[in-house]
Chain A
Amino acid sequence: MFGKEFFVNRYRLLGWEFRDVALKQAIRINTVNVKGADVVGRLKGLGVELEKVPFLHNGYWVARSDFSVGATVEYLLGYYSIQEAAAQIPATLFTDLKDKLVLDACAAPGGKTVQLADLMDNTGVIVALDVNKQRLEALTNQLERCRVKNTVVYQLDARHASKLGLKFDRIMLDVPCSGNFATDREWFKRRTLRDVERNARLQRQILTEAVKVLKDDGEMVYATCSLEPEENELNIDWALKNLGLETVEINCYGEEAPTEVFGKRLDDSVKRCRRIWPGKTQGFFVCKLRKRR
């Protein structure tokens, strides 16, 4: 079970007609280091055409640039990060991040960690985990470049997060996933349903561990850049039924997630999740969860 036709047909069954997508690069201003207007003005002065992302506070699409926006002095000074527009959504879904104890469970390469630190104004503590040593180096470089002050990094598999003996106010689960064709031209050639199911199992293990370390009144955001329901709606439906979690209403870019997937009826509250089909952004899925009260 693989190939473009197989996956495209699945998307059709979920209500989306496949079309190729030319993604626009996006940046996010690190407002803790600079005023947004200042850096936008400076980039414009360098000839970079920016377009405000309407559904993000500090996000801009790079409409045109004759050089890499990842090699400007402004970038090197940590004034902005290169972060795909949909990927900027999850961190904004938490309420009241300042002074909180936050877990970024699959943190590398650090785009969301830096964004969380920015939203927290460098207060509180972020515990950032990742299992891969090389990716952790990318993460620590990002933290240094963006002058993040409130983060501690451990090389630890998210499935063992309870070893830290901490309970968190907020948990970011930007889980490892199968990705999507909008960011990977070879996606349809490389991915099979077996890969998707393997990732979905890993994601359930991470969700299970995350619930153990979430405070009773805590919030958890789950996100993938996969279009496959096994990693998204089906996993959340499973979590609602097995982990004592409930979805929370969110107001962000994206469609209500389907509650019927390939003939299977899901918990009605799964519709509170947001599914983002590729178009203005890459493919994405995001939802907010808390312990059932």
Chain B
Amino acid sequence: MAETSVVKNFARLFGVELPLDNRFVVERGGCYFLLSEKLKDLTEKRGGWRHAGTYLGKVKGESFQPSFPLLFMIAEKAKNRIVVDDKSAWLFVCGRDIFKEGILKIEGSSEKGNCTLIFNRHGECLGYGKIVKNLNKLKSGLAVKNLLDVGDFLRRERHPANQEA
């Protein structure tokens, strides 16, 4: 059983109370995994594994780096969400920040300093970022700083040393 507060606190950044059952969350080397009952049983008897079940994220230094499966779990209920147009979605996946001009819809917080999930027009979560200006007042320019996007999978392939789990 692992202390899941680090994962739950991350979900709260987006206004989500994640119903994680502590009995099925395992911490290993700073990485958190959500296991099924069968996997829990197997991994308890046979240690030494490197990855199991759903990877939730990793504590690195002072911060928690979420996995994409965790972001997708949060995305189902997130209050803070921004929907962007196709061009902004593609640039975001390429690691770029979100500009006000590309935002189609804002739900939940629009306050500077808050975290928000970024969605494309298909309703798919592409990652998350931090709001850098009060979006209600902002007319144009930089709106959300990219903190993590799904293009990370490609960047990991190019730079294997940066890989997480």
Residues of A within 8 A of B (CB): 70-71, 73, 76-77, 124-125, 127, 134, 136-141, 143-145, 147, 149-155, 164-166
Q: How far is the CB of B40 from chain A (nearest CB, A)?
A: 10
Q: Which of B63-119 contact A (CB under 8 A)?
A: 67-69, 72, 89-90, 93
B6: Cβ under 8 A from any A Cβ:
no
What would 7 A/B residue contacts be, using CB atoms closer than 8 Å? A76-B154, A125-B38, A125-B39, A141-B165, A144-B165, A150-B53, A152-B43
Binds A, one of B13-21, B140-148, B155-163: B155-163
Decide if B50 touches A136 in the complex (CB within 8 Å). yes
Decide if B51 touches A140 in the complex (CB within 8 Å). yes
Q: Assign chain B's interface to a size class.
A: 35 or more
Decide if A73 touches B52 in the complex (CB within 8 Å). no
Decide if B153 touches A149 in the complex (CB within 8 Å). no
Decide if B49 touches A153 in the complex (CB within 8 Å). yes
Q: Which of A145, A147, A151 contacts B52 (CB 8 A)?
A: A151
Residues from chain A with Cβ under 8 Å of B42 in the complex: 125, 127, 152, 166
Question: Which residue in chain A gives the minimum CB-CB distance to B156?
Answer: A141
Residues of B within 8 A of A (CB): 34, 36, 38-39, 42-43, 45-46, 48-55, 67-69, 72, 89-90, 93, 120, 124, 126, 150-151, 153-154, 156-157, 160, 163, 165
CA distance A155 to B50 in the complex (A): 7
Residues from chain A with Cβ under 8 Å of B163 in the complex: 137, 140-141
Decide if A144 touches B52 in the complex (CB within 8 Å). no
CA distance A187 to B72 in the complex (A): 42
Q: Which of A73, A77, A147, A152 contacts B51 (CB 8 A)?
A: A152
Q: Which of B39, B69, B120 contacts A150 (CB 8 A)?
A: B39
